A and B are shown apart, each in its own frame.
Chain A
Amino acid sequence: MTYQKRSKDQLAARVARDIHDGAYVNLGIGMPTQVANHLPEGIEVILQSENGILGMGPAPAEGNEDFDLINAGKQPVTLLKGGAYFHHADSFAMMRGGHLDICVLGAFQVSSTGDLANWSTGEPGAIPAVGGAMDLAIGARQTWVMMDLLTKKGESKVVQACSYPLTGIACVKRIYSDLATLECTPQGLRLVDKVEGLAHDELEKLVGLPIAV
């Protein structure tokens, strides 16, 4: 049987579908930012940005950029009515204190029990950088990862144990990928859904780990 991978837009829409009305959400830099463009109509979701914004709105029209109003990726954004500004210690209290409902992050690797590696490939000589990744990963009530299931070489990014340096331990609840949505549990992976035409045993073969149904 043949199957088609979820496109970037389809994947963003898949993540967005699971975000509930009234949720406080932090979208990580990169692919997760796209989720904002796919939030279902008719619900209110409040986006947090680590640099001190709640109620973050979309990018401004060209020419209206305000460089005092940027997101964590340092791109100009807007503020929705009802939005608020705050300092960094408050911003990270929102994460660490469990006030954020959901954060969506990219990843290099996720283990079947939810360990996350997304800040460093551990290459010798590389300039390290971590930003808010570790605070977000362990802080939000639910940490979701959004990524391609396989590397460009075809290796699974969902692993038994991360080989890259860890960002957090047992912190990922769900993995949204281009082939399947998986839940990380203390007992291992559990299937939420997969693309049409992809057989369960085929998915397990790609991941190299058992996936409970």
Chain B
Amino acid sequence: MINKTARSVAEALAGVRDGSTVLIGGFGTAGIPNELIDGLIAQGAKDLTVVNNNAGNADTGLAALLKTGRVRKIICSFPRQADSYVFDELYRAGKLELELVPQGNLAERLRAAGAGIGAFFSPTGFGTELAKHADGSPKETREINGRHYVLEMPIYGDVALIKAERGDRWGNLVYRKAARNFGPVMATAAKQTVATVHEVVELGALDPEHIVTPGIFVHRIVKIDRVATQAGGFKQAA
């Protein structure tokens, strides 16, 4: 029998190794798997590369993970925020490597990894500072049908941590509103995808026409308390 339901966050994250690339979903207040990030901090894996759209806010969640000093590198599109001071300090001190990626290239590099695409030519970023490798050398470019493109490589995850709304024991997932964001793409791009859900339902309860992430992309689901999250569809003050 297939049962991807983990009894706890700790059980779901037991296999995360030092040196892993960890894909973390979420955009703004929506879709951040806060319980899994806290679980990763407790789990203790270090020398991590983290992929997220941002680089943490205030002192909790991703910022708290950065603060532990266990993240070597972050790949993201928008690290600078009014309250990204944890990242800012580590970055300025040279303690955290940053790979800045245009948001659409970030999503597509993850998609490519999940879809088995070796690399792809993207028009985004052509002729800009972001069409360069970390060492400053230019990325490969090509003109195709009169348009200019930059060769972009996939981003493979060892682990993906995402937040969904409902799931079943086969790992099928549906999301809630804009909390979907990076979840479905990151789920495809990692060897181990762990999703939190607010509800675990019986097989067949999710309408097969509406399943957003089919269970083949998901390895563990953990039910978390809806009240415990700010962005579970509940008003922030509630």
Residues of A within 8 A of B (CB): 49-53, 63-70, 74, 79, 85-89, 91-92, 95-96, 120, 125, 127-135, 138-139, 165-169
Q: By the criterion CB–CB under 8 Å, are A131 and B29 in contact? A: no
Q: By the criterion CB–CB under 8 Å, are B235 and A63 in contact? A: yes
Partner of A130, one of B78, B107, B110, B232: B78
A86 and B181 alpha carbons, distance in the complex (Å):
7
- Evaluate whether A132 and B123 lie within 8 angstroms (CB atoms) in the complex, with A51-B181, A92-B108 already known: no
Report 24 cross-chain contacts, Cβ distance below 8 Å, ordered by A residue.
A51-B28, A52-B178, A67-B230, A67-B235, A68-B29, A70-B29, A70-B178, A85-B178, A88-B104, A88-B106, A92-B103, A92-B107, A96-B124, A127-B92, A130-B77, A130-B100, A132-B77, A134-B128, A135-B103, A135-B104, A135-B124, A167-B128, A168-B126, A169-B127
- Nearest-neighbour CB distance to chain B for A202, whole angstroms, equals 33
8 tightest Cβ-Cβ pairs between the two chains A and B: A92-B104, A135-B104, A74-B28, A129-B80, A88-B107, A67-B29, A134-B102, A127-B80
**Inside 8 A of B88's CB, which chain A residues have their CB?**
127
Q: By the criterion CB–CB under 8 Å, are A89 and B235 in contact? A: no
A5 and B178 alpha carbons, distance in the complex (Å):
38
Q: Mark B13-56, 1 if CB is under 8 A from A, else 0.
A: 00000000000000111110000000000000000000000000
Residues of B within 8 A of A (CB): 27-31, 77-81, 84, 87-88, 91-92, 98, 100-108, 110-111, 122-130, 148, 175-185, 212, 230-233, 235-236
Q: By the criterion CB–CB under 8 Å, are B84 and A127 in contact? A: yes
A127 and B101 alpha carbons, distance in the complex (Å):
13
Partner of B178, one of A53, A125, A128, A133: A53
A84 and B233 alpha carbons, distance in the complex (Å):
17
Given contact pairs A52-B181, A88-B182, a sample of 11 additional A-B residue pairs in the complex whose CB atoms are under 8 Å apart: A51-B30, A66-B233, A91-B104, A92-B103, A127-B80, A127-B87, A129-B79, A130-B78, A130-B101, A139-B123, A168-B126
Q: By the criterion CB–CB under 8 Å, are B27 and A51 in contact? A: yes
**Among the interface residues B108, B181, B182, which one has the most CB atoms of the partner chain A within 10 A?**
B181
Q: By the criterion CB–CB under 8 Å, are A70 and B28 in contact? A: yes
Q: By the criterion CB–CB under 8 Å, are A135 and B105 in contact? A: yes
**Inside 8 A of A132's CB, which chain B residues have their CB?**
77, 102-104
**Inside 8 A of A130's CB, which chain B residues have their CB?**
77-78, 100-103, 130
Q: By the criterion CB–CB under 8 Å, are B130 and A52 in contact? A: no
- Evaluate whether A87 and B184 lie within 8 angstroms (CB atoms) in the complex, with A49-B178, A68-B177, A134-B130 already known: yes
Q: By the criterion CB–CB under 8 Å, are A66 and B103 in contact? A: no
- Nearest-neighbour CB distance to chain A for B62, whole angstroms, equals 15
A89 and B200 alpha carbons, distance in the complex (Å):
26
**Inside 8 A of B176's CB, which chain A residues have their CB?**
68
A128 and B76 alpha carbons, distance in the complex (Å):
11
**Inside 8 A of A86's CB, which chain B residues have their CB?**
180
Q: By the criterion CB–CB under 8 Å, are B125 and A68 in contact? A: no
Q: By the criterion CB–CB under 8 Å, are A89 and B107 in contact? A: yes
Q: Which residue of A lies closest to B185 (CB)?
A: A89
Q: Which residue of B lies closest to A92 (CB)?
A: B104
**Among the interface residues B77, B111, B177, B231, which one has the most CB atoms of the partner chain A within 10 A?**
B177
A51 and B81 alpha carbons, distance in the complex (Å):
17
Q: Which residue of B lies closest to A117 (CB)?
A: B128
- Evaluate whether A88 and B103 lie within 8 angstroms (CB atoms) in the complex, with A51-B28, A65-B235, A131-B77 already known: yes
Q: By the criterion CB–CB under 8 Å, are A96 and B122 in contact? A: yes
